[in-house]
Structure 1
Amino acid sequence: MRTQVAIIGAGPSGLLLSQILHNAGIDSVVLERKSLDYVLGRIRAGVLEQGLVDMLDAAGVGERMHGEGFVHDGTELCFDGTRHRIDFKALTGKTVMVYGQTEVTRDLVDARRAADAQLVYEAEGVELHDFDTTKPWVTYRKDGVEHRIDCDFIAGCDGYHGVSRASAPQDSLKTFERVYPFGWLGILSETPPVSDELIYARHERGFALCSMRSAMLSRYYVQVPLDDKVEAWSDARFWDELRRRIDDKAADTIVTGPSIEKTIAPLRSFVAEPMKFGRMFLVGDAAHIVPPTGAKGLNLAASDVHYLSSALIAHYGSGEGELIERYSENALRRIWKAERFSWWMTNLMHTFPEASCFDARMQVAELDYVTSSRAGAAALAENYVGLPY
């Protein structure tokens, strides 16, 4: 098989890249080691920056998002038992869209299938070859049969545990990591959200987040120690703990119900440099992880797709190669700013085991500044809605 771009991973970044390239007349094949049902069964984040909304519109897959998603003009920070609203639209002129990552993936799958795209699910034993030459190639197994794809470029959109970063020459790869000493216990419930906008709560017992997926699907989180077990958290215990950490009005009005999903996710910050190895590029979680506090994971993957798709379109359109050579540099500049914001939000809102009384006072003072100063609020809003590409 021959294609122009072999894309490893059929998550939203791989599918979005394939869709954008298709619209520009560039062929691609997408390989995914999991089944389609597995990919669509993953419950992930749902806050989309304006830049990603614009990309989905430009790719021709935004119609359902605008019909079913929720535009949020701001968010609320809760501390000392009081909520304070950050007005994104007034401060930046921009908004965010609440629309689940699963739904983004579904829309992209539908669009690629409508275009008879080559999507290969349950591709086993994927290996990347000769990407340090002008003729890279990829091999995989499907239903016990070996296949080979010859291509011009390889895009590694296969996540933190994927084959793409593992295939890069390890002596050329530098990684940076911060592992946080807590996790997020999250539940999904078929209940109306407690607020029209997200509530980020700092409490001496730990962080909490009230978010949503739809008008009748809510997502809630509480900070827990890393060694906690999901089995130790009954639904009743979770709801009681959440009520303790949010303001009285939210605690009194929240609608509770049985959880339909309950997980504990560890938090980390991670960056791999560079993101280009010959004709193989790392995209999204293959190159970076952010704690979910700043809602940057999917959005950061989308900005990588922006830089890479622009570079490939320039290459095939005019033969211009500068954007390809600068892909890693351009992507990493924005990545590190998003990493900084996610790190800042995480440190601002969470209770750290080693924190002193002084540290706690500094958190409250920082929150007081952010919520009482237009400059402080604007800095948070600017980063939350998404820095320009």
Structure 2
Amino acid sequence: MRTQVCIIGGGPSGLLLSQLLHRKGIDTIVLERKTRDYVLGRIRAGILEVGFTDLMREAGVGARMDAEGFKHDGTVIAYGEEEFGVSFHEHTGTDVLVYGQTEVTRDLYDAREAEGGNLVFNVENVGIHDAKGDAPYVTYQVDGSEHRIDCDYVAGCDGFHGVSRQTIPLTVRREYEKLYPFGWLGVLSETPPVHDELIYSWSERGFALCSMRNANLSRYYIQCSLSDSPDDWSDEAFWSELKRRIPSRYADALVTGPSIEKSIAPLRSFVTEPMRWGRLFLCGDAAHIVPPTGAKGLNTAASDIHYLYQGLTQFYQDSDSAGLDAYSEKALARVWKAERFSWTTTNLLHRYPDQSEFDLKMQRADIEFLRSNEAAQKVFAENYVGLPY
């Protein structure tokens, strides 16, 4: 087979890149190691920055998102019984959209399939060859049969454990990582949200987050030990602990119910440099991971797609490689700012096992400074809705 861009990874990043390039007349093939149903079964966060929603509309897949997504003008930050709001619209003139990543992926799959996109599922043993040369190609297996795709470029959208990053030699790539000494226990329940906006809550017992997917589907998180298992937490134990970590007026109003999904995610900050090696480009989790506190994971992937999409379009339409040559530098400049915001927000709201009394006083002072300082709230809001591409 032959294509212009071979995309490894059929999650939202790879699908969005494929759909955007298709609308510019650029041919792609998307390889995914799982099935479509498996990908759509993954539960992920769904807070979309302005840049991401603009890309969805440009890709022609924004109609359902705009009709069903929930606009969020701000967020609530709580500590103990105290709370305050940060208005995104007041400080930035815009907002964010709550629309589940599963729904984003579904819209993109539907569009690619309706337009005859070449999607290959259940691929195994993917290999990227001659990425430093002028004629890269990708090999893979399906049901034991060998296949080869010759292409101009390879987009690695295959996540942290995928083959794309590992293809770049250790003599070339440098990795930066911070592991946090806690995780997030998340519960999805068919219950109405406790508040119209997200609630980020600091407490002496640890962090908690109240969020939602729609008017009758809520997502709640509590900070937990890395040694915990979801099986350690009954629904009753989860709801009881969540109520202890949020202001009592929300705890009293909380509607509880059976969990329909429960999982624990460790927290990590990770960046690899560079994000380009020859004709191979890394996007999303293949190149960087952020803790979920700042809602930047999917959104940093979208900014990567923006830069790569613009660079590839410039190359194929104008025979100009400037955008591709600048891809890694531009993408990383924005990634590191998102990493900083996620790291800062995580440090602001979580309890660390080795915190001293002084550390806790400083943490509370930081929260109260954010509460009282307009400039600090503006910086927070600008980062949350998304820095410009």
Could you report, residue by residue, the CA deviation over 1:146-190 in whole angstroms, capped at 9, with x for unpaired residues? Answer: 111000000000000001011111110100000000000010000
Could you report, residue by residue, the CA deviation over 1:308-334 in whole angstroms, capped at 9, with x for unpaired residues? Answer: 000000000111111111100000000
Whether the 8 Å CA contact 2:185–2:222 is kept in 1: the answer is yes
Amino acid corresponding to residue 226 of structure 2 in structure 1: L
Aligned to 2:336: 336
Aligned to 1:388: 388
Aligned to 2:21: 21
Task: Tell me the distance in 1 between the aligned counterparts of 2:10 and 2:229.
Answer: 30
Give 1:194-209 correspondences, 5 Å limit: 194-209=194-209
SS for the counterpart of 2:187 is strand
Aligned to 2:211: 211
Aligned residue pair count: 389
Aligned to 2:150: 150
Aligned to 2:99: 99
Aligned to 2:287: 287
Give 1:360-375 correspondences, 5 Å limit: 360-375=360-375
Task: Tell me the distance in 2 between the aligned counterparts of 1:11 and 1:357.
Answer: 44
Residue 143 of structure 1 and its aligned partner are, at CA, apart by 2.2
Could you report, residue by residue, the CA deviation over 1:269-296 in whole angstroms, capped at 9, with x for unpaired residues? Answer: 0000000000000000000000000000
Aligned to 2:309: 309
Gapped regions of structure 1 (runs ≥ 5): none
User: Moved runs in structure 1, 4+ residues, more than 3 A?
Assistant: none
Residue 228 of structure 1 and its aligned partner are, at CA, apart by 1.3
Aligned to 2:135: 135
Residue 12 of structure 1 and its aligned partner are, at CA, apart by 0.3
Amino acid corresponding to residue 81 of structure 1 in structure 2: E
Task: Tell me the distance in 1 between the aligned counterparts of 2:263 and 2:318.
Answer: 48
TM-score, length-scaled by structure 1? 0.99
Matched residues, percent identical? 61
Residue 261 of structure 1 and its aligned partner are, at CA, apart by 0.7
Amino acid corresponding to residue 186 of structure 1 in structure 2: G
SS for the counterpart of 1:127 is strand
Aligned to 1:270: 270
Residue 74 of structure 1 and its aligned partner are, at CA, apart by 0.4
Q: Which is further off, 142-151 or 155-164? A: 142-151
Task: Tell me the distance in 1 between the aligned counterparts of 2:229 and 2:41.
Answer: 22
Amino acid corresponding to residue 259 of structure 2 in structure 1: S
Could you report, residue by residue, the CA deviation over 1:191-240 in whole angstroms, capped at 9, with x for unpaired residues? Answer: 00000010000001000000001111100000011111211111111001
The question of 1:80 aligning with 2:80 is answered yes
Amino acid corresponding to residue 12 of structure 1 in structure 2: P
Gapped regions of structure 2 (runs ≥ 5): none
Amino acid corresponding to residue 319 of structure 1 in structure 2: S
Aligned to 1:46: 46
Task: Tell me the distance in 2 between the aligned counterparts of 1:292 and 1:166.
Answer: 24
The question of 1:352 aligning with 2:356 is answered no
TM-score, length-scaled by structure 2? 0.99
Give 1:223-234 correspondences, 5 Å limit: 223-234=223-234
Aligned to 1:192: 192
Amino acid corresponding to residue 63 of structure 1 in structure 2: A
Whether the 8 Å CA contact 2:80–2:246 is kept in 1: the answer is no
Aligned to 2:126: 126
Residue 363 of structure 1 and its aligned partner are, at CA, apart by 1.0
Whether the 8 Å CA contact 2:92–2:378 is kept in 1: the answer is yes
Task: Tell me the distance in 2 between the aligned counterparts of 1:143 and 1:373.
Answer: 60
Task: Tell me the distance in 2 between the aligned counterparts of 1:110 and 1:359.
Answer: 50
Residue 253 of structure 1 and its aligned partner are, at CA, apart by 0.3
SS for the counterpart of 1:64 is helix
Amino acid corresponding to residue 249 of structure 2 in structure 1: K
State the superposition RMSD in angstroms: 0.6
Residue 80 of structure 1 and its aligned partner are, at CA, apart by 2.6
Task: Tell me the distance in 1 between the aligned counterparts of 2:318 and 2:308.
Answer: 15
Residue 82 of structure 1 and its aligned partner are, at CA, apart by 1.8
